[in-house]
Structure 1
Amino acid sequence: MPDSNAPSIETLNEWNRTNQLPPWASMNSWREEAYPMLTEAQGIYMWDDAGKRFIDGPGGMWCVQIGYGRAEMAKAISDQVMKLPYNSPWSSASEPSTVLAHKIAERAPGDLNNVFFTTGGSTAVDTALRMVHFMNNRLGRPEKKMMIAREKGYHGSTYLAASVTGKERDKTSFDVAHDLVRFLPDVNPYIRPEGMSVEAWCDAKVNDLEQLILELGPENVGGFIAEPILCSGGVIIPPEGYHRRTLEICRKHDILYISDEVVTGFGRLGHWFASEAVFDIVPDMITCAKGLTSGYQALGACIISDRIMERITGPDENVMFSNGYTYSAHPVSCAAALKNMDIFEDEGILEHVREITPYFQERLQALTKFSIVGDVRGMGLLGCIEGKLEDTSGLAADKKLGALLDAACERRGLLVRPLINMAVFSPPLIITRAQIDEMFDILEDALEEVTEAMGA
C-alpha cells in the first residue's frame, strides 16, 4: 500500500534541485538539471517515476555486476546489520572483514596477500599512493615521491587520486598536487599516426615511460599508476605487451607499479582480477572497489604485495601506517562483498562473462558501419563508441554528438554514459544473449537517428 505521507515526485524533483549537489555538476546550470528519478530496478533493468523501463547500460557506475533485486544480498546485509552493524577497525576485527581479506588474497595474483579496506575506489587509490610515500620514507629515500600517471586515466575524486587523474578535457577549478605527478601521453592506438603499426606505437608508448623516468631521475620517481583499461577515458586498451613492458621498466628502477582495477576487477573481463589473467603482470599493488560488492554497499580495497610489506616492516622504530577510515573494513559492507563473491561462484558469472563476451564484442564491432562512428573498442563486457565529426571546432562540437546519442538511446529505453563525443557501456555481468541483442538493436536505431540529425 502506498505511503500517503511520502513526498510527491514533483516535490522530490524540487528538493533534488534545491538541496542535493550531484557529482560533476555544471555550475552554470545544475539547479535546472532534470535528473531522472529512478524508483526501482531488477536484473539489468531500471524504472523511473513514470514507470518507463531502461536497460542499465553503464551497470550503475561500472559496478552492478550481479544485477539488481538480489534478495540474497538483502538478507546478507540485513543479517549482518542485526548481528554486528559496526566495529572500530582501530581496535577490533570482524568475521566478515577477516574472511573477505582472506578470500581476496587467495584470488589476487602473485604475492598480493595483504588487504587494506577503504570506503571506495578513490580512497583505495589514495591508500596506494600514500603507501608509495610511506615505503620510501621508511627506506630513507624521502625524495623518491613523484608519481607517473597517464593522460585519459581516471583514478578518483579525493585530493591525491584526483591529482593522478589525467582527463585533460575536464575543466576544473579544484587544486591538485601538480608537484607530485607527471603524465604520459595518450596510449590509445586509435590516435597513432597514419601508417604506424600497433607494434611501433607500443614501442613509442613504452619509451615515453622510460624517457620520463630518466628525465625526472629514477631516484625521484616512486610509483606508476595505470588502469589495465582506461575506462572513464573512453575504454582505451593499450597495445598488447604494453603492461608487461612498463612493469619491467618499473622493476628496473625500483618504482612501485599500481594496477588500478576499480573497474576491471571482479568480473568485468571474466576474471577476479585482470592484471595477471588478462595482461600478464603481477603488480605491486591492486586497487579495487565497484564490483567488489556489485554496488550494494560502499567498499574498496588496496591489495599490497608481501614484497612491499617486508620493506616497510622492521624492528628499528615503532612507526605506524597511520592511514585509515571510520568505515574501513565495515562489517556490513564486507558481508555484502562475501555474498557477492558467493553469487559469482554459485552462478558461474566469471565463466558466463567469458562465454558471452565474443558475441557482445561482435555486436559492438558491427557499429562501425555508421559514418559518424570513428572507432569502437572494448574487451570483456566493456564497450565504447567514439564519434567522428566533420566539425572539429572544439569541445562543444564534440559534446553535441555524445548528447544526441545519449538522448536517442534514453528515449528508446537504454541508458548509456556519454563522455564528450563517446558513449561507453558496461552492463551487469548477468546480461543474456537476448538482452545483448536488445541493447545493441537500440544502439543501432539511435545511431541511425543521430547520423541523420548530424547530416552525416
Structure 2
Amino acid sequence: MRTSAHLSSKATSDTPDIRALWQKDKDHFIHPFTDFSVFHERGCDLITDSQGIHVQDAHGKRFIDGIAGLWCVNVGHGRREIGEAMAEQATRMAYFSTFNNLSNAPAAELAAKLAELAPAHLNHVFYSCGGSAANDATIRLVHYYFNRLGKPDKKRILSRTNAYHGTTYLAATLTGIVSNNWAFDTLEHLVTHLSEANCYRRPEGMSESEYCDHLVKELEDTIARIGADNIAAFIAEPIMGAGGVLVAPPRYHQRMQAVCRANEILYIADEVVTGFGRLGHFFASEAVFDTQPDIINCAKGLSSGYAPLGATLISDELYEVLSTPQGPGGVLSTGFTYSGHPVSCAAALKNIEIMEREAICENVLDVGPYLEERLSSLSHHATVGDVRGSRFMMCLENVADKATKALLPVEARVGDRVAFEAQQRGLIIRPVGHLNIVSPPLIWTRGVVDEVVSILDDALSATTRSLAADGFL
C-alpha cells in the first residue's frame, strides 16, 4: 500500500543538496503530528516555493494548494505587498515590548481595525502568537473575569467531542479529538465535552430539527448536573475544522448561546479557521450564524499565515471588569513577549487591506457554492459517504458501506490513499484519518474548482482500485 509519505522517498535519489536538506529535516526537525510509523524511513516532502494558488517541491514539481497552507494562506502565496510591509516594519522597528505603558503603531492600528470588522460589541483585542495560545489566554482571562466578579467557582469549560482548539496544555484539553491526546496528559477537571454536532451521523430516524433539540437538551442537562455556578464558558467552532468540517443543524448556535446566556455562561467562538473570509465574511459568528459571542478568537487567516499572530476579541462588558484595577499598583498580569508583535501586525494589516481591495470575501460567496456543488458530484464514488461543509471549508468522508456508514479499517489508511493519489496528480489535500479536507486559498476561481474536482475524481477512482487490490473492498 502507498501513502502520501511515500512521495518523500524520491528525495534520496536526487541532487546532493536536496538529499542533504532532506536528511537534516529527518534527523533534526520534530514535525507536528508526525506519523512515526513511516517517517523514519520516508522523511518529509520539502516544499520550497509558492505563488498564488500553487506550491512547489524541491524537485520542481508544482501542486495546487488545496489546504491554504493549513487553513490560513487566504489571500494566496507570494504576496509581495505583505512581504514588503513586513520588511519595512522590520527595518524600522522589528520589536519592542508592549508591556505596561508601551505600544507600537501596527498593533494599535490592527486592534482598531479588528474592532471595526467584528460584531459591534467586541471592541478590545488581546494579542497572542497563534490559535492555541489565543484559546489558552482566553480561558485564563475568563477565569480571571469571574474571580473579579466574586464567583471563583465558575471554572468549568464546556467544549465538544471532536472539537479542535489547539495543542498547548489547556487548549489540548479543550480539544475533543481523542487521538490528539493519546498518551498526553490533559486538565480534565477543567473541561467537560458535550456531543459534536454531526448531522451525517445523527441518530437514525431523527430529523435535523429534532437533532438540534437533542443537542440543546444535552447542554441543559449538563448544566443542571454540574451547576451553572461552576461553569464559566462554552467554546465552539462555528463549523468544526480538524474534527471533520461538521456543520451543525440550523439554529444550533443561536439556541446554545441562549441557554448559556440564561445561565451566565460565556459564549466563546473559536474562529481561528472560519474567520477572515473562509465562509465569506471577516467573522462568521454574527454574519452567518446570527450569534453574538462574548469572545471571538482568531489567528491563521488574520495574517494569511505570513507571520504568526493570534487575537482574542473581548466584549465591552467583559472589558469593563478586566480593566478595573485590582488595587493600587494592580496589573493585568498575563501576556506574551510577542503580544502585538509589530511585524506580524503589519502583515495582518496589509492582508486585510488586500482582502478588502480585491473583494476576497465576495469571491468566496460567489465561488464557494460552486465548490460545494462540484465536490458533491464526487458522491458517485463507492467510498464517498458524505460531502459536507460550507463555502471554502469542505470535507469528504470515506466509508466502507454507504448504507450503514461503516468505516474502513484504520489500517486501510483511506484518507492517506486519497491524498497520495491527488498529490500524484498535482493537488495537495489534507488527510485526517478516514476524512479528506479541502480548505483552499480564497482566490480560487470556478476554473480552478473544475480542475480540482477532475483530479479528485481520478484520485478517488484510483483509491477504490487500490483498496480493492489490498482486500479492503
Q: Shared topology, TM-score over 0.5?
A: yes
Shift of 1:77: 0.8
Name the aligned partner's letter for residue 76 of structure 2. Answer: G
| Structure 2 counterpart of 1:449, one-letter code | A
- Counterparts of 2:407 and 2:368 in 1: how far apart (Å)? 36
Q: Which residue of structure 2 lines up, in the alignment, with residue 262 of structure 1?
A: 272
Question: Which amino acid is the alignment partner of residue 393 of structure 2?
Answer: L
C-alpha separation between the residues in 2 aligned to 1:393 and 1:420?
10
- Taking the aligned partners of 1:216 and 1:150, their CA distance within structure 2 comes to 16
Alignment correspondent of 1:338: 349
Q: Aligned equivalents of 2:170 and 2:25: distance in 1?
A: 29
The TM-score with structure 2 as length reference comes to 0.92
Contact map agreement 1:119 1:298 (CA 8 A) in 2: yes
Q: Deviations over 1:153-204 (max 9, x none)?
A: 0001111111100002335221110100000112101111222101000110
Identity over aligned residues, as a percent? 45
Structure-2 residue corresponding to 1:351: 362
Q: Deviations over 1:56-100 (max 9, x none)?
A: 111100000010111111111111111111010114111111010
Residue of 60, 75, 89 corresponding to 2:84: 75
Partner of 2:194: 184
Structure 2 CA distance for partners of 1:324 and 1:407, relative to 1, 3 Å? same
- Residue 321 of structure 1, CA deviation: 2.1
| In structure 2, C-alpha distance between the alignment counterparts of 1:394 and 1:186, rounded to whole Å | 21
- The SS at the match of 2:172 is helix
Query: Quick one: distance in 1 between partners of 2:16 and 2:157?
Result: 48
Partner of 1:47: 56
- Cα separation, partners in 2 of 1:251 and 1:171, compared to 1, 3 Å: closer
Shift in CA distance, 93/264, structure 1 to aligned 2, threshold 3 Å: same
After TM superposition, the structure 1 = structure 2 runs for residues 47-126 of structure 1, keeping only pairs within 5 Å, are 47-90=56-99, 91-126=101-136
Match of 2:444 among 392, 406, 431: 431
Question: Where in structure 1 are there 5+ consecutive unaligned residues?
Answer: 1-5
For residues 419 and 254 of structure 2, what CA distance do their matches in structure 1 show? 36
Kindly report structure 1 stretches of 4+ aligned residues shifted beyond 6 Å. none
Q: Any conservation in 2 of the 1:414–1:439 contact (CA below 8 Å)?
A: yes
Question: 1:418 aligned to 2:431?
Answer: yes
Matched, 1:321 2:327: no
Amino acid at match of 2:159: A
Partners of 1:139 and 1:299 lie apart in 2 by: 30
- Give SS of 2:413's match: helix
C-alpha offsets along residues 385-441 of structure 1, whole Å, 9 cap, x if unaligned? 0001159687624x6211110111110011110011010011100111111111111
1:25 equivalent to 2:34? Answer yes
Of the three residues 231, 234, 241, the one matched with 2:251 is 241
> Which ranges in structure 2 are unaligned for 5 or more consecutive residues?
1-14
> Take 1:155 and 1:185, find their aligned partners in 2: how far apart are those partners?
15
Q: Which residues in structure 2 correspond to 1:183-262 (within 5 Å)? A: 183-262=193-272
1:139 matched to 2:149: yes
In the alignment of these two chains, the number of paired residues is 450
How big is the shift at 1:27? Answer: 4.5
Q: 2:138 aligns with which of 120, 128, 150?
A: 128
User: Secondary structure of 1:296's match?
Assistant: coil
Give the letter for the 2:254 counterpart.
R
- Of stretches 48-57 and 32-41 in structure 1, the one that deviates more from structure 2 is 32-41
Question: What SS does structure 2 have at the residue aligned with 1:169?
Answer: helix
CA positional deviation for 1:7: 7.5
Kept in 1: contact 2:399–2:406 (CA 8 A):
no
**In 1: Cα distance, 2:202 partner to 2:368 partner:** 26
Aligned to 2:387, the other structure's residue is in SS state: strand
| 1:300-311 alignment runs, 5 A limit | 300-311=310-321
3-state DSSP class of the match of 2:397? Answer: strand
Cα drift, residue 320 of structure 1: 2.5
2:410 is the alignment partner of 1:396: yes
Question: What RMSD in Å do the two structures reach over aligned CA positions?
Answer: 1.6
- Aligned CA distance change for structure 1 residues 377 and 273 (closer, same or farther; 3 Å): same
Corresponding residue of 1:452: 465
